[in-house]
């Protein structure tokens, strides 16, 4: 996934946060490894399970015969980066100036593809653009190169030694083997997070196998390379598993007038109860239904339609879904939320983020680059700087941090 985000997923990615960093590589011909005690016996025994699920001896031995399990996955499970973000910080970091600029360019380059997806599936281009931007920085090859690793060593380690969800990881390993056996990909190409999520929109093997399809007509299904298969299949995922409603927007920021119930009702009924769009415009589909949600008292309120929850099916986090929906709107020209979150700051411009990164780097804090993208490296650098400067260490690269850096720390 994009280096700037890691978040929880069950049906799509397993219970682990998909983050970059698995260190082991598939064994090269002629290499010699000292596998951890017990792994060779497990691998030999697991072959029978794979064979029972349709994996040929040839495929199994070609992929698994000389593999070394990536044991670093267990350390990563124990030591996920912890950043205590408020809702507005979470959204600001994902609806960043860099993502808005890059998202508009991604749409310009792929206008025909998004138009085709809207015709075929009815999924709004903003939603897919935002998912693409958050999950892989719009397919940035540097993310793939620098933050993704071969997934088979990770899946092998998890299938062997992760006791809580071993059956899940065994199944995902077999799914990955099926992908190779079908000729859709190779172990060398199948690079992803240490939890096994791969490509433009971060598919787990199960999603690749069961939801992915050949949208560009090249005879294979792939989340890599051209984005057609990844984006078309993600639209299909939202429709089939998220029950996406054709022609409906995800929802709207609203003014409630106070005391409104949270049960689902039509937009017309909400309007009759005094709930209006924050921008003053009418609800375009008054008979569609929505639920009221106020994430933080005193902050913006929203009416959420079924397509908000369709996005949430991709990652079971309300904040994630709101960030995706808002980012999609912003890429297509909408403005920030009208009602600010309590205590919030405006989003830094791209130039301001780069200034933060440059000043931190000069002060000896490693931000992992100065490209204006705030990932875990930059957040850790900010947190370390905040601790040194005696500031609350939340890791958020915002206006207060920039002002303190300009003062010389």
Please tell me the number of Cα atoms within 13 Å of 149 on its side-chain side.
21
Residue 288: the pLDDT is: 97
pLDDT at 27 exceeding the cut of 50: no
What is the spatial distance between Cα 84 and Cα 118, in angstroms, rounded to a whole number?
A: 37
Are the beta carbons of 47 and 60 closer than 8 angstroms?
yes
Report the 3 state secondary structure along the chain: CCCCCCCCCCCCCCCCCCCCCCCCCCCCCCCCCCCCCCHHHHHHHHHHHHHHCCCCHHHHHHHHCCCCCCCHHHHHHHCCCCCCCCHHHHHHHHCCHHHHHHHHHHHHHCHHHHHHHHHHHCCCHHHHHHHHHHHHCCCCHHHHHHHCEEHHHHHHHHHHHCCCCHHHHHHHHHHHHHHHHCCCCCCCCCEECCCCCECCCCECHHHHHHCCCCCCCCCCCCCCCCCHHHHHHHHHHHHHCCCCCCCCCCEEEEECCCCCCCCCEEHHHHHHCCCEECCCCCCCCCCCEEEEECCCCCCCEEEECHHHHHHHCCCCCHHHHHHHHHHHHHHCCCCCCCCCCCCCCCCCCHHHHHHHHHHHHHCCCCCCCCCCCCCHHHHHHHHHHHHHHCCCCCCCCCHHHHHHHHCCC
Enumerate domains of the chain plus CATH numbers.
1-84+92-237 (no CATH), 251-331 (1.10.530.10), 350-406 (no CATH)
Tell me the angle at which helices 97-109 and 350-362 cross, rounded to the nearest 10 degrees. Answer: 130
pTM of the model: 0.88
pLDDT at 64 exceeding the cut of 50: yes
| 408 Cβ neighbours under 8 A, 6+ residues apart | none
Residue 34: the pLDDT is: 56
Query: In whole angstroms, how large is the CA radius of gyration of the chain?
Result: 23
Nearest to residue 327, comparing CAs of 66, 35, 93? 93
Residue 134: the pLDDT is: 96
pLDDT at 22 exceeding the cut of 70: no
Residue 15: the pLDDT is: 34
Residue 37: the pLDDT is: 86
The mean pLDDT value for 12-41 works out to 48
**Span 357-373, pLDDT tens digits:** 999 999 999 999 999 99
- Mean pLDDT lowest among 30-34, 115-119, 303-307: 30-34
pLDDT at 82 exceeding the cut of 60: no
What is the spatial distance between Cα 122 and Cα 115, in angstroms, rounded to a whole number?
A: 10
The mean pLDDT value for 48-55 works out to 97
pLDDT at 344 exceeding the cut of 80: yes
Q: What is the mean pLDDT of the chain?
A: 89
Task: Report percent pLDDT > 90 for the chain.
Answer: 80
**Span 141-153, pLDDT tens digits:** 877 777 788 999 9
């Amino acid at each position: 996934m994009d280096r700037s985000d890691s978040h929880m997923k069950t049906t799509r990615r397993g219970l682990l946060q998909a983050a970059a960093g698995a260190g082991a590589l598939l064994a090269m011909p002629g290499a010699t490894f000292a596998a951890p005690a017990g792994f060779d016996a497990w691998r030999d025994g697991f072959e029978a399970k794979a064979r029972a699920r349709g994996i040929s001896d040839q495929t199994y031995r070609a992929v698994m015969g000389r593999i070394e399990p990536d044991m670093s996955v267990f350390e990563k499970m124990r030591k996920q980066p912890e950043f205590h973000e408020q809702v507005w910080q979470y959204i600001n970091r994902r609806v960043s100036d860099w993502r808005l600029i890059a998202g508009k360019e991604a749409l310009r380059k792929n206008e025909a593809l998004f138009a085709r997806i809207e015709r075929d599936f009815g999924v709004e281009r903003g939603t897919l653009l935002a998912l693409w931007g958050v999950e892989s920085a719009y397919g940035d090859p540097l993310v793939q190169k620098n933050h993704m690793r071969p997934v088979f060593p990770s899946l092998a380690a998890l299938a062997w030694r992760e006791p809580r969800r071993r059956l899940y990881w065994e199944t995902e390993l077999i799914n990955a083997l099926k992908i190779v056996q079908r000729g859709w990909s190779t172990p060398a190409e199948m690079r992803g997070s240490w939890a096994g999520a791969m490509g433009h929109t971060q598919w787990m093997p199960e999603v690749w196998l069961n939801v992915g399809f050949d949208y560009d007509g090249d005879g294979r299904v792939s989340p890599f390379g051209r984005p057609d298969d990844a984006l078309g299949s993600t639209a299909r995922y939202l429709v089939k598993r998220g029950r996406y409603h054709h022609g409906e927007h995800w929802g709207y920021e609203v003014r409630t007038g106070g005391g409104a119930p949270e049960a689902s009702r039509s937009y017309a009924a909400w309007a009759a109860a005094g709930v209006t769009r924050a921008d003053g415009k009418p609800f375009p589909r008054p008979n569609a239904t929505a639920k009221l949600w106020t994430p933080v008292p005193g902050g913006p309120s929203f009416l959420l339609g079924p397509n908000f929850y369709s996005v949430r099916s991709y990652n079971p986090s309300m904040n994630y879904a709101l960030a995706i929906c808002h980012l999609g709107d912003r890429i297509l020209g909408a403005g920030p939320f009208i009602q600010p979150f309590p205590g919030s700051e405006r989003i830094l411009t791209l130039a301001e983020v780069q200034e933060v990164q440059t000043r931190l780097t000069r002060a000896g804090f490693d931000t992992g680059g100065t490209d204006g993208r705030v990932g875990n490296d930059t957040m850790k650098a900010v947190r370390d700087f905040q601790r040194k400067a005696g500031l609350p260490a939340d890791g958020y690269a915002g206006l207060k941090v920039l002002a303190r850096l300009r003062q010389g720390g």
